[in-house]
A and B are shown apart, each in its own frame.
Chain A
Amino acid sequence: MGEGFFATTLDKLVGLGRKNSIWPLPFATSCCGIEFMATMGANYDLARFGSERMGFTPRQCDLLMVMGTIAKKMAPVVKQVYLQMAEPRWVIAVGACACSGGIFDSYSVLQGIDQIIPVDVYVPGCPPRPEAILDGVMRIQDLIGQESLRRRGSDQYKALLESYGIQ
Chain B
Amino acid sequence: MSENNIAPHAGHHIKLSDDSLQKTTTTLNLGPTHPATHGVFQNILEIDGERVMSAEPTVGYIHRAFEKIAERRPFSQIQPLTDRLNYCSSQINNIGWQTTVEKLVGIQVPKRVDYLRVIIMELARIADHVVCNSVVGVDTGALTGFTYVFQYRELIYEIYEEICGSRLTTNIGRFGGFERNFTEVAWTKLNRFMEIFPKGWLEFEKLLNRNRIFMERCLGAGPITAERALNYSFTGPNLRAAGVDYDVRVASPYCSYEDFKFDIPVGTTGDVYDRFMVRNGEIWESMNIIRQAMDKVKELDPNVYHADVPEFYLPEKKDVYTKMEALIYHFKIVMGETNILPGEIYHAVEGGNGELGFYLISDGGRTPYRLHFRRPCFIYYQAFPEIIAGGLLSDAIITMSSMNMIAGELDG
Contact = CB atoms under 8 A, between A and B. Distances in A.
B147 A42 contact: yes
A41 B147 contact: yes
A31 B151 contact: no
A129 interface: yes
A69 B68 contact: no
Interface residues of A, number: 30
B331 interface: no
B154 A38 contact: yes
A81 interface: yes
B34 A127 contact: no
B315 interface: no
Given A71-B62, A106-B64, A31 B33 contact: no
Contacts of A56: 33-35
B87 A103 contact: no
Contact of B168 (A35, A74, A77, A106): A35
B32 interface: yes
A104 B61 CA distance: 14
A30 B62 contact: yes
A73 interface: yes
Q: Is the interface of A mostly helix, strand, loop or mixed?
A: loop
Interface residues of B, number: 35
B40 A74 contact: yes
Nearest to A97: B64
A104 B33 contact: no
Interface in B12-62: 32-35, 38-40, 60-62
Given A38-B157, A42-B151, A77 B87 contact: no
A13 interface: no
A156 interface: no
Contacts of B33: 27, 56, 77, 81
A104 B69 contact: yes
Interface of B: 32-35, 38-40, 60-65, 68-69, 80-81, 83-84, 87-88, 90, 131, 147, 150-151, 153-154, 157, 167-169, 407-408, 411
23 contacts: A30-B62, A30-B84, A31-B84, A31-B90, A34-B87, A34-B168, A38-B150, A38-B154, A38-B167, A41-B147, A43-B154, A56-B33, A68-B62, A73-B63, A74-B32, A77-B61, A104-B69, A106-B69, A107-B68, A108-B63, A108-B65, A126-B169, A127-B167
